[in-house]
Structure 1
Amino acid sequence: MKKTILFVEDEESLVSYLEPELQFENYNVITARDGEQAWNLYKENKSIINLIILDWMLPKLDGLEVLRRIRRHSKVPVIMMTARDYIGDKVAGLDSGADDYITKPFDIEELLARIRVIIRHQDDQKDTSAVYQIGDLSLDTKSRQVIKNDEIIQLTQREYDLLLILLQNINDTLTREELLDKVWGINFDGQPNIVDVYIRYLRNKIDSPHHESLIQTVRGVGYVLRYENHD
């Protein structure tokens, strides 16, 4: 079945270039030219949208506001596009729930590779059904729910993927390179410290106050998910 991408971009030349490229790769493409239209199209088509490519600078509503609105309702993967290679922009986008980002100008093959990684993760997770648990934290791959102390924890797609890999390897130390390959894909050419950024996001969401972090740093190597019950 064809995957559907909501492509949000106001630059006509980029739309006329990317839209047919995505269609050639066998994606259905819904295109929005401004943030307000993007939000309306998302609401109308959210049941069929598999991925959103979202420009930062948009008329009417900027990309960050569109992302925030979407994240109140859905974990659908979002790739942010920005013309400015400012770390502050990237951090703001990731903090607001973006799963990935790409800086203009970019090579079409890089964007397509990132799309394939995200779609593959979606498909892989649909093919398996399992419940993983550590302490009072559980992840159900069928419902895609993460529960802590009987409360649902809202995670982005990327945070979910990272937590799932860690849960599948409890007590095993994973290097940053292994996590990059498993979560972001072997073709990812961004900054390796993206792993550290997402580990911090996860800790903020799943750790209990006054307790040691479930995700422990193995200095100079990577991270391990470990639970030590001191009760």
Structure 2
Amino acid sequence: MGVKAGSPSVNHAHMDAGSFVMESDGVRWGIDLGAQDYESLESKKVDLWNGKQNSQRWQILRYNNYNHSTLTIDNALQRVKGSASIISSSAKPAFQNAIIDLSSIYADKVAKATRGVAIVAKKYVVVRDELESLDSVNVRWSMVTSAAVTLGRNSATLIKDGKVLLLQASGSFPIEMKTWSTAPKMDFDAANPGTCVVGLEMKIPAHAKGFINVALIPQGNTPINQQTKTLAQWPETNLI
């Protein structure tokens, strides 16, 4: 499991604060599409080096948050001037984890946004997001994958190379499981064959606290406890 903080304003950066990659059993389940060759963009006169909030740079499919394993709030881009930082981490084998403050990345949408990722007992992964809304917001949770995806009510089954991963989701408000295409949207976008985005959407009312909890469970493993603790409790946690 790897997770990223940082800012879209850094040279060559993407809108991928909070994004993660995840693998188990020799399979990379959560992937990053990677950078697109600059010449392929410059040859089509894309305004690639303009990093302003509404510049053409952020229309590039591989560069915006819609196609990374992170959050999108009200279908908006992450804030270029925002910066995410790792505020807590632990290497304890029973509960390896890191917590990231994403608040300034989504500052015009929510009062607070925090993401925690954990490897639990070296068996499965938990990604937990906690948010405090300003107005009512729609939150999209995404994971980019090259696996075949079948959606369930609050879950998704991923299959690749004969292996299976169960994505088990819950939230403080009703969630809807979804997939999104990674096919090129502009004539300058690179192709992304064999990939898609899997995740969910959840609406948080105005001035409310909400959470999304996703467990990524390799075949043959069982979560220790479905009732995941809040991120405030993580630093003192040995097991969920």
TM over 0.5: no
Which has the higher relative contact order, 1 or 2, with Cα contacts under 8 A spaced 6 or more apart?
2
Q: TM-score normalized by structure 1?
A: 0.29
Please state which structure has a larger fraction of its residues in helix.
1
